[in-house]
Structure formats: structure tokens, C-alpha cells
Amino acid sequence: MTEPSPTPYRVLARKYRPTDFATLIGQEAMVRTLTNAIQTGRLAHAFVLTGVRGVGKTTTARIIARALNCVGPDGHGGPTIDPCGVCEHCKAIAEDRHVDILEMDAASRTGVNDIREIIEGVRYRPTSARFKVYIIDEVHMLSTQAFNALLKTLEEPPEHVKFVFATTEIRKIPVTVLSRCQRFDLRRVEMEVLAAHFAGIAEKEQAAIEPGALRLIARAADGSVRDGLSLLDQAISHGAGTVSEAQVRDMLGLADRARVFDLFERVMKGEIGPALDLLGEQYALGADPAVVLQDMLELTHWLTRLKITPDAADSSAASETERVKGGAMATALSMAQLTRAWQMLLKGLAETRSAPNPLQAAEMALVRLAYVSDLPSPAELVEQLRANPPSPAPRGPGGGGAPASGGGFTAAMAAPAPAGPSGGGGATALAAAAPMAQLPPMPATFAQVATLFSEKREGRVAVALKTQVHLVRFEPGRIEFRPGASAQSDLAPTVARLLGEWTGRRWTVTVNSVEPAEPTLAEQEALAETRRREDAASHPLVQAVLAAFPGATVEVVRDIAADEPEAGELAFDADQIAGEEEP
């Protein structure tokens, strides 16, 4: 006599699949809307369910089909939000054998011919159920022709037909289809809800699981109930019914949370040697370097939240380490350090995921972060420069106003930094040397700007500034002008870029063709020269000379140097007065 074959094992994701809205977790808003719609009889003819994988889209579609077709234990009930589970229709739908509930996977049946089969079947009334329900999973995979074929039927379906679509890519569904459906966005299930749900399932499975292990599984599930149940199934098998937090960490390849705090603290203190040792220990225990950096990113985000809203530490989801040690670290670190750590860890994580050797990439990310952890922010550098004004920079050999280096910051000599941050920090040495940097003087007038371009041998731009620029407004760091007809189109960005390089400060150069503008520098110089000649010609001594030489004119006016004739006298060269001599 042969022994009966044992009942095949059902994975937890199928065994504990919700069969009604009461067992569907984390979707209260959708359940409330459907409850009101069923109670008032305002049922849509098409629904679209969207959300990440594993939140219950297909499960919800089947529950909707049961709710619409349930007839109750006595066989005389109507649509209800609480399907009885014992009537013929509820049992047949739960066992996937109801002839009026048609489920199609659009990922494998994407063509217009598959949709034509649905359109042909829509004309016929249900065999036994109240409604014929078409469930199309991953509906965004349908072709454009298939969507177009479905549109008319979807807009005016028979009263006995309901459509339920499920998708993870709602943006790929045409707007013409979405406008004909009632949309429900299924949310990610919160970590606390998932952990409580998994704890109940573990109790039913007679498995002893530590609360810390359940939180790790809930966090790794990332809001997906199905993913979390698969991990819980794996954890129970891994621990043979008794699951500890350490076992789940080993299974998931996670670093110990307390060690992540220690690693982050060492890095932010610049102690790169001990930090690399900690990373190596975690790697030897099976932790993935990319996961370690991801944990450090989460820790950075948590510390930033604590710094902004200290009340976040009172959350029930926060562990004792996160509350106590996290609070102390959030107080010690500045917002600039935390935001800089976030950016560098995010870049390091991308490099680690794509690097041939993830451990080496993770180590280099920690090295970079340690060496800049105590660098002052730009605002702090400016304050240091204001508090400790630098000594004047040496002039170039030509005696010009530009620095000898030819522009930008004048290099400051500093003692060589120690080998690493743990020995005093190269970043600290760099920060100490920052106040020694010499900023070149800023041009105080627009004329000085044009002169600076001439000294830098930027002749084309210098000529344009003198002859094609009508100044509207000027202040150090900002220029507004109206360009002439023949000015080059890239004059403003070119001036801003070169001034920024030469002065070490940001310049904003904009074109303003609306407000009144001054004459160009060349026009101002010509006008000034004309006035000088007129003033010189009106001098009594010059008048006497011009009277003695009829037809003569004043061509050039020169200022008298201090070592030449006394003030108030005029000096003339033979070639300064031109004219015809009397016959």
C-alpha cells in the first residue's frame, strides 16, 4: 500500500495572500473609496491599480472581482466590501477557476489580436456571475494598436463587464486609457506595519524571530509585502525556526548597525586608518561594500533629520543606538559636513556598484570623505579672510597692477601636511593655509575693468569694452551694459568668465537694453579731450599765440609735470601749434 504524498509546501507569499479587504494591509485610502462606492452603487466600469512590485495590485484586483460577484452564504446577497468566502463564486475566484473572471498577462500577450479576443467576449453575458471581470496585469506592456483597439469598448462597455488593470509603469499607459478608468495608487507599506504583519505570520508559523530581525526584513522589503514575505520565508529556513538579528544580517549581507555608527564616526573625525580596518572587518564577515555605503547614506539622512527636527528621535522605529548615539553625532556635526558627506557617499556608492573591485572603490570613497571631513565651508573661509586680512601680494616684475602669477589666487606657501587625517589631517593643513591666500584687488570702476583687459593682452575684448559698450550700471562684481551694433554676441559671458579667473571672485555681467546708458569709454575720452583743447584755447597766453599766428589751432594738450615749469604756466612744443605763417 503506497503512502499518500505529502502536501507540497506553499511559500508564505502565497499562503498568506489576502483574500478580502480586511487582510489587505497598508491601503486604507483605497479600501475606504471602494467601500463607499459599493455602498452607494457608484461602481466604475474600469479600474487601474498602480504601485511598486509586491504591494498587492493583482491581489486587490481579485478581491474586487470577489466583492462584485459575492452572493453571500444564502445566495441572495449583492456586491459587498466583505466577501463571504463560502459562496460558489468566492470559492471559484479564490481557486482561479471561475469562467467569468478572465485574467490576462499583458507582458506575454501584447498584440492587438489578444485584445480582439477580449472585445469579442465582452458581447456575451456572464455564465453564472453577476459581472464578467477582465483583469489585465502589467497593462502598460500592451502595444499602441492594442490600446487603440480597446478604447471604444473601454469607454462604453456593457453593464455586465468590469475591467481591472494593474501596472507598475503608470506613465506608459496612454492618457486616453487613463481618462476612462478610476485610478488607485497603492502605497508602499510602512516599515512598522510590515514588521507587525511579519510578526503575526511568524507566530502562525511557530517561528521565534527577534524584533530586530523583523525590522531588518521590513527595511529590506522597501515597502513590498511580497518581497518581505520571501525574505521572511528565507530567514525562517536559514535559522531553522529560530531567527536572530545577526543571522538576518548575515543572510542579507548587512553590516552591524552599531559598527556603521562607529565607521561613520571615525571617517568624520578623519581617522581613516581605523575606518578602513572597520570596513575590512565587515567585508570579511560577508558585508557587501555597496550595502555598507548605503547604510552610511541612511545614517547621514537620519542624522540630518535629527539636526533639523530633534523630535524624530522619539519615533518608535528608532533603535536605542539611533536615539542616543545618533543624537550626539547630530549635535557634533554641522549641516555643511552632513550635506557634503551625503553628496560624496552618493557618488561613492555609484562608483562602488560599477567598479571591478567594489571593496577598493568603497575604501577610496571613505578616504575622500575623511580628508575633507574637517574642511571649512566657503562661508567659513570668507569669515577667516575677513578676520585675518592677508598681506599685500607682490607685484609683477613689470610694476603693473596685476599679480605676478598672472591672475587668480596668489599661491600661498605652506608646510607639507601630515600623511593622513589621523595624523593631524591634510584637510586641516589646507584649511589653515586658506587664510594665507591673497585676493587681487577688484576693479573699482568700469574704466579699470577695460584697463585690466588691456594689461592681460585681451585686445579684442578690451577694444570692445572701450568702443562698443554703453555702461548702464557698475559695481564691483556686477556690470550691466547696452552693447553696440557691432559688439560680439558672447561679450557678456566672456567678460564674466575672465574677470572671475583674474580676480578670484564671481562676476555677473548682463545686457540691459532698456535703461539709459552712458557713452562708450572712447566717446567719453574724445569728449574729454575736446574739452581740454577748448579750455587750453581759452587761456590768455594761448589766445595771444593764436592771435600772433592767424589760422593756427591747438592740436595737443599735455599736463605739466612736477619737475617742469611752475604751476599755472603753460608749456608748448614747436609741433603743438600748427598753422600758416603770415606772408
Residue 560 has pLDDT above 70, yes or no: no
Residue 224 has pLDDT above 90, yes or no: no
Instruction: Please compute the mean of the pLDDT values over residues 549-562 and round it to a whole number.
Output: 71
Residue 261 has pLDDT above 60, yes or no: yes
Q: Kindly indicate the confidence band of residue 571, based on its pLDDT and cuts at 50, 70 and 90.
A: very low
- 72-81, 122-131, 206-215, 400-409: the lowest-pLDDT one: 400-409
Q: What is the pLDDT of residue 343?
A: 93
Grid cell in block for residue 19: 483574500
Strand 46-50: give its sheet, edge to edge: 101-105, 132-137, 161-167, 46-50, 182-185
165 or 440, greater pLDDT: 165
Q: What is the pLDDT of residue 359?
A: 93
- According to CATH, what is the number of the domain 12-185? 3.40.50.300
Residue located via cell numbers 575677513: 386
Residue 408 has pLDDT above 70, yes or no: no
Grid cell in block for residue 256: 552591524
Instruction: Please compute the mean of the pLDDT values over residues 144-154 and round it to a whole number.
Output: 89
> How far is CA 582 from its chain centroid?
85
Q: List, for residues 36-90, the tens digit of each pLDDT value.
A: 888 888 888 899 999 888 888 999 999 999 999 998 888 888 888 888 888 888 8
Contact between 165 and 154 (Cβ < 8 Å) = no
Q: Kindly indicate the confidence band of residue 409, based on its pLDDT and cuts at 50, 70 and 90.
A: very low
Q: What is the pLDDT of residue 47?
A: 92
Q: Kindly indicate the confidence band of residue 377, based on its pLDDT and cuts at 50, 70 and 90.
A: low
Grid cell in block for residue 64: 474586487
- According to CATH, what is the number of the domain 191-252? 1.10.8.60
Alpha carbons 390 and 380: distance in angstroms, whole number: 16
Q: Is 12-185's fold the same as 191-252's?
A: no
> How far is CA 349 from its chain centroid?
14
Q: Which amino acid is at 393?
A: A
Q: What is the pLDDT of residue 94?
A: 86
Instruction: Please compute the mean of the pLDDT values over residues 185-196 and round it to a whole number.
Output: 88
Strand 508-511: give its sheet, edge to edge: 469-475, 478-483, 508-511
Q: List, for residues 342-366, the tens digit of each pLDDT value.
A: 999 999 999 999 999 999 999 999 9
- 115-119, 248-252, 314-318, 329-333: the lowest-pLDDT one: 314-318
267 or 530, greater pLDDT: 267
3 state SS of 515:
coil
- 15-29, 80-94, 173-187, 553-567: the lowest-pLDDT one: 553-567
Q: Output b/e per residue, 386-423; b: 16+ Cβ within 10 A.
A: eeeeeeebeeeeeeeebbeeebeebeeeeeebeebbbe
Residue 549 has pLDDT above 80, yes or no: no
Q: What is the pLDDT of residue 436?
A: 41
Q: List, for residues 472-505, the tens digit of each pLDDT value.
A: 889 888 898 888 888 888 888 888 888 888 888 8
Q: What is the pLDDT of residue 22?
A: 85
Alpha carbons 446 and 70: distance in angstroms, whole number: 84
Q: What is the pLDDT of residue 431?
A: 39
Name the residue ranges covered by the structural domains of the chain.
12-185, 191-252, 257-372, 378-393+401-436, 446-521, 538-583
Alpha carbons 268 and 258: distance in angstroms, whole number: 16
Alpha carbons 187 and 168: distance in angstroms, whole number: 12
3 state SS of 558:
coil
**Residues 38, 40, 43: CA angle, nearest 5 degrees:** 50
Give me the percent of the chain exceeding a pLDDT of 70.
Answer: 81
Q: What is the pLDDT of residue 364?
A: 95
Q: What ranges in 85-190 are assigned the alpha helix state H?
A: 88-94, 112-122, 144-155, 175-178
CATH 3.30.300 fits 446-521, yes or no: yes
Alpha carbons 242 and 41: distance in angstroms, whole number: 49
Instruction: Please compute the mean of the pLDDT values over residues 117-144 and round it to a whole number.
Output: 89
What are the backbone angles phi and psi of residue 454, rounded to the nearest 5°? Answer: -65, -40
Q: Which CATH number fits domain 257-372: 1.10.1840.10, 3.60.150.10, 1.20.1530.20, 1.20.272.10?
A: 1.20.272.10
Q: Highest mean pLDDT: which of 238-242, 389-393, 513-517?
A: 513-517
Alpha carbons 401 and 502: distance in angstroms, whole number: 12
Q: Which of 408, 293, 285 is nearest to 362 (CA)?
A: 293
Residue 396: C-alpha distances to residues 393, 405, 531 (Å): 9, 8, 36
Residue 427 has pLDDT above 70, yes or no: no
**Residues 305, 224, 258: CA angle, nearest 5 degrees:** 45
Residue 265 has pLDDT above 70, yes or no: yes
Judged on CB neighbours under 10 Å (0-12, 13-18, 19+), 126 is middle
Mean pLDDT of all residues in the chain? Answer: 80
Q: Kindly indicate the confidence band of residue 167, based on its pLDDT and cuts at 50, 70 and 90.
A: very high
β-bridge mates for residue 410, sequence order: 438
Whole-angstrom Cα Rg for the chain: 40
β-bridge mates for residue 104, sequence order: 136
> How far is CA 251 from its chain centroid?
31
**Residues 109, 114, 117: CA angle, nearest 5 degrees:** 150
Contact between 66 and 83 (Cβ < 8 Å) = yes
Q: What pTM value is reported for the model?
A: 0.56
Q: Kindly indicate the confidence band of residue 2, based on its pLDDT and cuts at 50, 70 and 90.
A: low
Q: What is the pLDDT of residue 352?
A: 93
Q: What is the H or E stretch that residue 260 is in?
A: helix 257-268
Q: List, for residues 96-107, the tens digit of each pLDDT value.
A: 888 999 988 888
Inter-axis angle of helices 358-372 and 257-268, nearest 10: 50
Q: What is the pLDDT of residue 416?
A: 39
Residue 401 has pLDDT above 50, yes or no: no
Q: What is the pLDDT of residue 330?
A: 86
Alpha carbons 163 and 443: distance in angstroms, whole number: 72
